[in-house]
Chains A and B, each alone.
Chain A
Amino acid sequence: MKTLRELFDNLREFLVAVGAVTLFLLRMLAHVPRALTRPRLIIEQVYNSGALSLVIIMICGVFIGAVVGLQGYEVLQRFGAEESLGVGAAFALLKELGPVVTALLFAGRAGTALASEIGLMRATDQLSAMEMMAVDPVLRVAVPRFLGGLISLPLLAMIFIGIGLYGVQLVAVQQLGVEAASFWSQMRAAVSIDDVTDGVVKSCVFGLTCSLIAVYEGYTAIPTAEGVGRATTRTVVISAVLVLMLNYMLTAVMLR
């Protein structure tokens, strides 16, 4: 009986959380047109979550690409098809690794920063102070950060994929001696513009998810030092799980 009630409570908590996040998203979307009249705030947030994540994205891109090159070569050379490495690596990076790894890194680098920043504003009553001054904190704080993340993540993913392909090329062509011409030409023959679009769509969805979770967790953080810490942790955990789940669903839809 007790466990049943606990289960019921958990289920109710979950529904409440889903509903609250959705309402928060709608509230932010309603404010988007007004937020766009002050682009400086958004630019600042694109800088914070995008430009400052650039270095980590580029470094990780090279290494992910390099490891795809090594592993792909290892498998493909058994069939004497190491020239097809370009095709495999391009598909892997464009459709899966690029959007997903970028989103995970983004949640760790920018999502936590957003959540702890807004959480600390909540803990130090800055958000309440804004309300006292008749400044809507959703409009002034949440929406620019949300839009900044939404804009940054697809761009970061594209940079990640580009750099990743360079990493593949570095290992495959420079180090393992795959012929450069067939590496690129096979890739070019197999990849179509739809594959690039798939990657862009995925990273846009992940951008929305990650920045929504980060802003929501920060905004609703319990206003204590512990609460802010917990909000930051929850941001990473929930973002990572959601990104991987959504990735599966999107792939299933896109492969149909």
Chain B
Amino acid sequence: MRSTRTIEMSTGLFVLLGFASLFFLVTQITNRELSTDSKSYSVEARFENIGSLKVGAAVSMAGVTIGRVESIKLDQSAYKAVVQMKINTAYNQIPKDSDAAIMTSGLLGGQYIGITAGGAEEYLKNGDRIDLVQDALVLENLINQLVASFSNRSSDSGKSQQPAEESKK
């Protein structure tokens, strides 16, 4: 039997190590909430199609994350997706006529909202709506358009190939 002092010390070490691991997991590998209620303002945008945007997705400007998507609802009168975003109050100088686009990060990455600054003097406030929006790119629609444009081309293939070859030169 070891002395109680050794037992207590190694037990203490073990418990501390356990809680240190928990602390590491909570702080280091989870996404810290950017916005708490007191330190953020919410902005709304309406999209025709949000693709696979999820609650909690990033709202970013010039690649910097400035907020998160707070809620996504369907407006049944206009059949549009209403996206509420919470933006950190540190970023309170976003022009009112900025536009919001749903973009995809990487090939397999999730979707996020990218905001591009406009030129207005006034800034976005709590409860404002972003009017200029760009919907999510739906791959099926894109392919349909591509197929349609290809079938157009093949009907008058001789003409359309010439400019392509010229541009190569």
Contacts and interface: CB of A to CB of B under 8 A. Distances in A.
Interface in A194-220: 195-196, 199-200
A188 B31 CA distance: 5
Interface in A179-193: 184, 187-193
Interface in B1-23: 4, 7-8, 10-11, 13-15, 17-19, 21-22
Contacts of B21: 155, 158-159, 161-163
Contacts of B30: 188, 191-193, 195-196
Given A187-B29, A195-B30, A79 B14 contact: no
A127 interface: no
Which bucket holds chain A's interface residue count? 35 or more
B26 interface: yes
Given A47-B7, A51-B11, A155 B19 contact: yes
A151 B14 CA distance: 11
A108 interface: no
Given A47-B7, A200-B22, A188 B29 contact: yes
B25 A81 contact: no
Which bucket holds chain B's interface residue count? 20 to 34
Contacts of A79: 108
Nearest to A194: B30
A54 B17 contact: yes
A7 B98 CA distance: 73
A199 B29 CA distance: 14
A81 B8 CA distance: 47
Which residue, of B10, B14, B56, B58, has the highest number of chain A Cβ atoms within 10 A?
B14
A191 B29 CA distance: 7
Looking at chain A's contact residues, is the secondary structure mostly helix, strand, loop, or mixed?
A: helix
A195 B26 CA distance: 10
A90 interface: yes
Contacts, number: 82
A243 B109 CA distance: 34
B24 interface: yes
Contacts of A152: 14
Contact of A196 (B8, B13, B19, B25): B25
Nearest to A162: B21
Contacts of A51: 10-11, 13-14
B64 interface: no
B11 A47 contact: yes
Contacts of B139: none
B11 A46 contact: yes
Contact of B25 (A40, A162, A184, A189): A162
Nearest to B6: A47
Contact of A159 (B17, B26, B56, B107): B17
Given A51-B13, A187-B29, A192-B31, A162 B24 contact: yes
A80 interface: yes
B15 A155 contact: yes
Interface of A: 40, 43-44, 46-47, 50-51, 54, 79-81, 84, 90, 94, 151-152, 154-156, 158-159, 161-163, 165, 184, 187-193, 195-196, 199-200
Interface of B: 4, 7-8, 10-11, 13-15, 17-19, 21-22, 24-26, 28-31, 56, 58, 107-108
The 9 closest A-B pairs by CB, nearest first: A155-B18, A162-B21, A51-B14, A158-B21, A47-B11, A51-B10, A158-B22, A47-B7, A159-B21
30 contacts: A40-B4, A44-B4, A44-B7, A46-B15, A47-B7, A47-B14, A50-B11, A51-B11, A51-B13, A81-B107, A84-B108, A155-B17, A155-B18, A156-B18, A158-B18, A158-B21, A158-B22, A159-B17, A159-B21, A161-B25, A165-B29, A187-B29, A188-B30, A188-B31, A191-B29, A192-B31, A193-B26, A196-B25, A196-B30, A199-B25
